[in-house]
Amino acid sequence: MDALRHLQAVLQTEIPISQAIGITVDAYDNGCLTLRAPLGPNINHKDTAFAGSLNALVTLAGWSLMWLVLDAARLSGKIVIQDSTIQYLRPVTQDFVARCYKPRSAKRALVR
């Protein structure tokens, strides 16, 4: 199984909210991971995307990129989001995407 299909399976089995939100692993190119989610199951009473769904997609993009890094290095570990901050600049009225980029250079080790 390739890494993206494996990641999709991991999200659906280990992160229950990802299935409810409808998150799909879209692409991983040049160190950029793209996750997608449909508006339909994430719509709020204002006919826009629920803030919690937006936050979950962004957070899981970071989590998933770390998962891919560990998988490629054949390392195991527990990935935990320690801190998260988000600002909502305008309403989202269509399917939404989150992209997470690997840093261009690492000044310190990812795993100790």
Q: Encode pLDDT of 17-60 as tens digits.
A: 999 999 999 999 999 999 999 999 999 999 999 999 999 999 99
4 pLDDT above the threshold of 80: yes
The three-state DSSP-derived secondary structure of 70-95 is HHHCCCCCCCCCCCCCCCCCCCCCCC
- C-alpha span between 71 and 9 (Å, rounded): 14
Amino acid found at 13: T
Residues 74-90, mean pLDDT to the nearest whole number:
93
pLDDT at 111: 47
pLDDT at 104: 79
Distances (CA, A) of 71 to 62, 76, 88, 97: 14, 7, 32, 23
Query: Per-residue pLDDT averaged across 105-110, rounded?
Result: 55
What would the mean pLDDT of 78-84 be, rounded to a whole number?
92
All structural domains of the chain with their residue ranges: 3-101
| CATH superfamily to which 3-101 belongs | Hotdog Thioesterase (3.10.129.10)
Answer whether 22's CB lies under 8 Å from 37's CB. Answer: yes
SS3 12: helix
**Which pairing describes strands 24-29 and 32-37: parallel, antiparallel, or unpaired?**
antiparallel
